[in-house]
Amino acid sequence: MTSARDIRPRADDLAAQAQYLSTSPSASFHSPSSHGSALTRTVPLVNAKHLKPFATEDIKVLLLENVNQAGRDILKQQGYQVEFLKSSLPEDQLIEKIRDVHVIGIRSKTKLSARVLKEAKNLIVIGCFCIGTNQVDLQYAAEHGIAVFNSPFSNSRSVAELVIGEIICLARQLGDRSNEMHSGTWNKVSNKCWEIRGKTLGIVGYGHIGAQLSVLAESMGMSVIFYDVLNLMALGTARQVNTLEALLGEADFVTCHVPELPETKGMIGQKQFEQMKPGSYLINASRGTVVDIPALIEAMRSGKVAGAALDVYPNEPAGNGDYFNNELNTWGADLRSLKNLILTPHIGGSTEEAQSAIGVEVATALTRYVNEGTTLGAVNLPEVALRSLTIDEPSHARVVYIHKNIPGVLRKVNEILGDHNVDKQMTDSRGDVAYLMADISDVNSTQIKELYQSLESLNSRIMTRILY
């Protein structure tokens, strides 16, 4: 019998693949499903034809807030004109910068409001190199044909590991002991310090982060329960409970992993703290509006909550500095005065691994959209994709027509395309906006120009792009 061989791909092979394979599927927030199903639709053809936009100057890209090097490299390798800034910009400066760019990449601090976006005359796509997209006016962007992409799952492991660390730190009061030692005080105590083995972790929101956290916690001897608005399959021996109240009454540690929605605002408030076990702990690494901070302060002062860890806040500074004070949030000083409280500056996904994965995923989505018109993973437009054109199809063009979702559009579009052979076509709608892609053959530059002008003249038109 021959000896076993390591058949894992080499590191250089994985690095090459990373530029083409999405690190997560376009799944719902709650779904903890695997990534495998996404691979078959993201692998490019070996002989794929490199498309370029018609009637558009060289692609200009603006990257703000220190987007990871991996993402910057992918965009530069496409030959785009890439401008990179380490910080966000005040709104007036942002408006000046955004006027002539086709692609903008941001993180959580940059606010792309309707006022900003209406000045972006050439903008076709926004990349949010983070989980959330609430910093972008998604409706305005969709109504003006601007696609928005993000990376909802690439930092899941980083957040889950942070929460595990915080659970242990809270149970052992490590933050207080560390601060005391830094100030020269030796305080060796065991009172109200616990092992986490045998304790119950309650996870509010069993999405990708919650599911990973569930597995990690169980491996450390914790019992896991979770509450979610969907009925989900639990991992390991985790158990779903029917109500938030049931979870709060049973859990020793409560951790929040829900999106920012109207129904999650103030989800954990005075009533919920009263429902928690005496001496339990709260962790919030989701969104700052989920927890009522003044209610948390009172719950900790009364001793009902023995400790808490917050990574997110209702109002967060736009940059680093001495800004976490009462001017930012009126309760800032009261919060900072509490014992056994871990405060971190929204660093749940701030690891080298997570930021690199986010950079690769979002930059790849941006290049696919610019070069191929593919909207898989877009958060504000219908998800539409066609197989790549190949170098064996030299006289082909790809028509992308973003339009108002009104009756009669397809008939008029197909009348324009009707003089040519349409090899493949796909259309889908999302609310008031529809997205059409069609590949046509045997066209020259003069015909492409005529097609472009004809589509631009339609009343339904939001944006026309032709790639050839």
Catalytic residue numbers? 287, 316, 346
Q: Which of 116, 75, 81 is nearest to 95 (CA)?
A: 116
DSSP, collapsed to helix, strand or coil, labels residue 463 as strand
The C-alpha atoms of residue 240 and residue 243 are separated, in whole angstroms, by 9
Distance of CA 4 to the CA centre of its chain: 40
How are strands ordered across the β-sheet holding 397-404? 421-430, 433-441, 397-404, 461-467
Do 223 and 203 touch, CB atoms closer than 8 A? Answer: no
The pair phi, psi for residue 341, each rounded to 5°, is -125, 120
> To 10 degrees, what angle do helices 156-171 and 352-372 make?
160
Pairing of strands 200-204, 223-227: parallel
Helix intervals (H) in 220-342: 244-250, 270-275, 293-301, 332-336
Q: Which residues contact 432 (CB under 8 A, 6 or more apart)?
A: 142, 143, 404, 405
